[in-house]
Amino acid sequence: MLECKITKKLGYFVLDVDIQAIDGVTALMGASGSGKSTVLRCIAGVSKPDAGRIVLGGATLFDSEKSVNLPPQKRKVGFLFQDYALFPNMTVLQNIMCGANGAKKEKRKGIAEDLAESFHITVHLSKYPHQLSGGEKQRVALARILAGMPDILMLDEPFSALDSHLRWELENELAAVFARFGKPVLYVSHNRDEVYRLCDNIVILNGGQAEVSGEKWGLFKNPETVEAARLTGCKNIVPCTVNADKIIVPEWGVALDANGETAEFIGIRANYIMSACVVDKSEVAAAFEFEIVHEIESTFTNILYVRKKDTVLPPIRWEMPKKDRAALRALPQKLALMRENLLLLRR
C-alpha cells in the first residue's frame, strides 16, 4: 500500500496530489506536463516535495511535518526510467549486480544470474548496454530493479522507447512480472489500451492534480471529467448546457432528456455511435439523419466524420468495423446516440 499526499511548486506549475495505490497495478495517466514523472521522482526520493507525506507499506519515506526525508538509497523503490538508465560502462551482469548491492559479491552474482535466466538474457550477460536492442535493455533494467527486492515498482512510460512490434511481447512479460510481484506497481502511460490491459486502477492527473481515480472498468465507463474522458480515448467531447429537464448540445444539434442529471460537457466514444435502424428505440437518447463530411479508411475500421443533415455543425467522429460500414450503406442515413453510452462530464 502506498499513500502519497504531496505538494511541490515548479515555477508556475503546482503539483498537488493525493494518491493511494493498493497492491496491484495502478496507472498514472495524464497529458505531458501533468506531473506524472514528478510524482514518481518524489516517491523515489530523487526530487523533494515542498510538503506532504509519503508512506509505503507502513514505512514513512517522507513527512514534512516530522522532517522525515529518507534518501533514495533507503526507500526500496524500483524505478524503471523511460530510457532504462543502464550504466554504459558496465556489462549487463555488472548492471544487474548493482541492483543487488548490500549482499556479498558471490550472492549478488547468483541473484543476477537467476534473474537474467528468468528474463532470458543470460546470453547477453557479458555485453555492454549499447550492444543490446531496446527490448533487451528493458529486460536488463527490470532485472536490475528486481534484484534489490523493492517494495514498489514504478515504471515511467516503459514502452515509449520501443518499436511497436516489440511492445506486445514485452507487455505480456511485464504483465507476468506484475502478477508475480504482488506489491504496488505505479505505471505511467498515456496509452489507454496498454493501461486497460495491464492495470487494475487508474489515477488521472491533470495540471498537477489527481483529478479522478478508481478501478479501471468504472473509470472507462464513467470518466467523470473531460480530461479523464480524453485520456481514456473518448474522441467526441463537446460542451453542453442544462435547461430545465433538457441537456442541450449545440455542436451536435440535439437536446436530450436530462433525467435530473447535470453536465458541463458531454462525450461519446467514436465506436459507440450506432445506426438508428439496428437499436432498441427505448434506449435511444437522440437520433438524427446525418451526412458524411469526410471518411478515412483505416486498417480494420472505417472512420466517418458525420454531422446532422443540412447543417454546418462540427463533425462527430464515428468509427466502425469495415463490414458494418458496408452494411450501413444499405440502411437509411440515420444515427442514434444511446443513453448508456453518453458520458456526462465536468471540467
- Note the residues at the interface with another protein (CB under 8 A): 41, 44-46, 71-79, 81, 83, 85, 87-89, 98-99, 101-102, 130, 144-145, 148
Q: Which residues contact 159 (CB under 8 A, 6 or more apart)?
A: 167, 170, 171, 189, 191, 194
CB 241 within 8 A of CB 251: no
Nearest residue (CB) to another protein, 144 versus 317: 144
Alpha helices (H) along 100-206: 105-118, 134-146, 164-181, 192-198
> Shortest approach of another protein to residue 211 CB, angstroms?
27
> Shortest approach of another protein to residue 110 CB, angstroms?
18
Inter-helix orientation angle 134-146/164-181, to 10°? 10
CA contacts within 13 A on the Cβ side of 6:
30
Nearest residue (CB) to another protein, 51 versus 85: 85
> Shortest approach of another protein to residue 72 CB, angstroms?
4
> Shortest approach of another protein to residue 37 CB, angstroms?
11
Output the nine-digit C-alpha cell for 292.
Answer: 458524411
For residue 207, give the H/E element and its range: none
Cell 473531460 maps to which residue?
226
- Burial of 34 from C-beta contacts in 10 A (0-12 / 13-18 / 19+): buried
CB 255 within 8 A of CB 242: no
Spatial separation of the C-alpha atoms in residues 216 and 207, rounded to whole Å: 21
Nearest residue (CB) to another protein, 55 versus 242: 55
> Shortest approach of another protein to residue 79 CB, angstroms?
4
Q: For the CA atoms of 237, 243, 244, 247, what is the dihedral angle to 10 degrees?
A: -20
Nearest residue (CB) to another protein, 49 versus 78: 78
CA contacts within 13 A on the Cβ side of 261:
18
Spatial separation of the C-alpha atoms in residues 214 and 237, rounded to whole Å: 21
> Shortest approach of another protein to residue 89 CB, angstroms?
4
Nearest residue (CB) to another protein, 52 versus 99: 99
Nearest residue (CB) to another protein, 99 versus 223: 99
Strand partners, 2: 21, 56
> Shortest approach of another protein to residue 44 CB, angstroms?
5
Nearest residue (CB) to another protein, 72 versus 239: 72
Strand partners, 18: 5
> Shortest approach of another protein to residue 213 CB, angstroms?
25
> Shortest approach of another protein to residue 60 CB, angstroms?
18
Nearest residue (CB) to another protein, 79 versus 220: 79
Inter-helix orientation angle 92-99/134-146, to 10°? 30
Strand partners, 24: 184
Nearest residue (CB) to another protein, 145 versus 316: 145
